[in-house]
Copies of this chain bind each other. A is one copy, B any other.
Amino acid sequence: MHDNEKNAFSSWQMNCPVSIPTNADCVTLAHGEGGRLSRKLIQERIVQTLKNETLLALNDAAQLPQVNGPLALTTDSFVVSPLFFPGGDIGSLAVYGTVNDLAVSGARPLWLTLSLIMEEGLPLVILDRVLESIAEAARQTGVQIVAGDTKVVPRGAADGLFINTAGVGELIAPIPPGAPALQEGDELIVSGSIGRHGIAILAVREELGLEPLPSSDCGSLLRPVEILREGIGNQIRCLRDATRGGVAAVLHEWAEASEMTLSIDERSLPVSPDVRGISELLGLDPLHIANEGTMVIAVKLGAGAEAVSLLQSLPESADARVIGVVKPRGIAAVTIRRTLGAEQPLDDPLGSPLPRIC
């Protein structure tokens, strides 16, 4: 074994739930080139693990039944580093991320595509573990992975494994009208405690040595969206999962789209003790840190309490809170009343201090 292979293995071992033997079989360039090895990889590993009849047909495109309604279509690529983190991995993230994008858009997720870009030398046990996570997340959310692609790039041309998922869903009435419909008095809600995904990634990557490690909120928003639709469907203005840029990015996008001021109260923000502690240590604001199973919701005036009560009946949204209100546009697009002190503008950063969190 070459030294650089040893290094590569040790970096992939980070937080990986399976141990990688020193003589592990690895992805080779030939696995990506359309010949026998490509077909073997696809048939024996990918289709075996994700098995469903559509994928088994191995056509250029999946043939799917008619959908009796309007469609939703979305895509996301995942480049998270490391590949495994407390609460999830790049595989579960790739399924939940796309399922959540469909769910918050008012759609029932139906089918996913899965495209893998692998670096030459990726241990196959890691690929297998990620595929099992994908299969489990697909089962849990009731979506089928019906089409796929695999590419292999030479060592050094990518970092381990990148995943793209695209998703098709069926839009279900009532479809939330979206941020341009926001009006004065609308209530702003988060579905759970914030900043957990970004902090979980940061804690693993920076080897902060915390015990226990903070865990990501990586998970499905299907049930929280469904309980809101059933309970107060006509009261919902908009929903958005608060991924990159965190809750603050969602609020700023909504403020821009509606030309209103979104005003939140720091004291009402659900923040877990570990997220709060690490954020303070590193000078980060949980409002700017990514979530992967937590959404922001805007509902009509008066519907906030019922929305929160519905959400709190589910374990994945037990920490839901009303965090603010929509006001006529003032001086700032988004304002926050800090625990100590007066209302002030909430920063809309150019970027974030956390690359590759999803």
Contacts and interface: CB of A to CB of B under 8 A. Distances in A.
A355 B74 contact: no
Interface in A98-137: 101-102, 104-105, 107, 111, 113-117
Q: Which of A32, A33, A79, A153 has the most CB of B within 10 A?
A: A33
A235 interface: no
Nearest to A355: B29
A76 B240 CA distance: 27
A245 B35 contact: yes
Interface stretch (A164-172, A210-218, A262-270, A314-322): A164-172
B245 A113 contact: no
Interface in A132-178: 146-149, 151-154, 156-159, 162, 164, 166-169, 171, 175, 178
B351 A33 contact: yes
A60 B167 CA distance: 11
Nearest to A352: B33
Nearest to A152: B355
A290 B38 CA distance: 14
Nearest to A109: B61
A72 interface: yes
Interface string A61-102: 111111111111111111101000000000000000000011
A331 interface: no
A196 interface: no
A36 interface: yes
B34 A75 contact: no
Contact of A354 (B33, B38, B246, B352): B33
Contacts of A102: 60-61
Contacts of A77: 115-117, 149, 151, 164
A73 B79 contact: no
Copy number in the complex reads: 2
Given A75-B115, A75-B147, A244-B38, A59 B105 contact: yes
A81 B114 CA distance: 22
Nearest to A113: B75
Contact of A74 (B147, B246, B354): B147
Contacts of A63: 70-72, 105, 171, 175
A350 B159 contact: no
Contacts of A111: 73
23 contacts: A33-B244, A34-B243, A34-B249, A34-B352, A35-B350, A35-B351, A61-B167, A66-B67, A66-B70, A75-B115, A75-B148, A77-B116, A79-B117, A147-B166, A152-B355, A154-B355, A156-B156, A157-B159, A157-B356, A158-B158, A158-B162, A164-B166, A166-B166
Given A57-B178, A64-B71, 19 more contacts: A33-B245, A34-B245, A35-B352, A36-B349, A36-B351, A38-B245, A38-B351, A39-B253, A58-B253, A59-B178, A60-B105, A63-B72, A66-B67, A76-B115, A79-B153, A79-B157, A79-B158, A154-B355, A158-B159
Q: What 3 pairs between A and B have smallest CB-CB spacing?
A: A30-B351, A34-B245, A34-B244
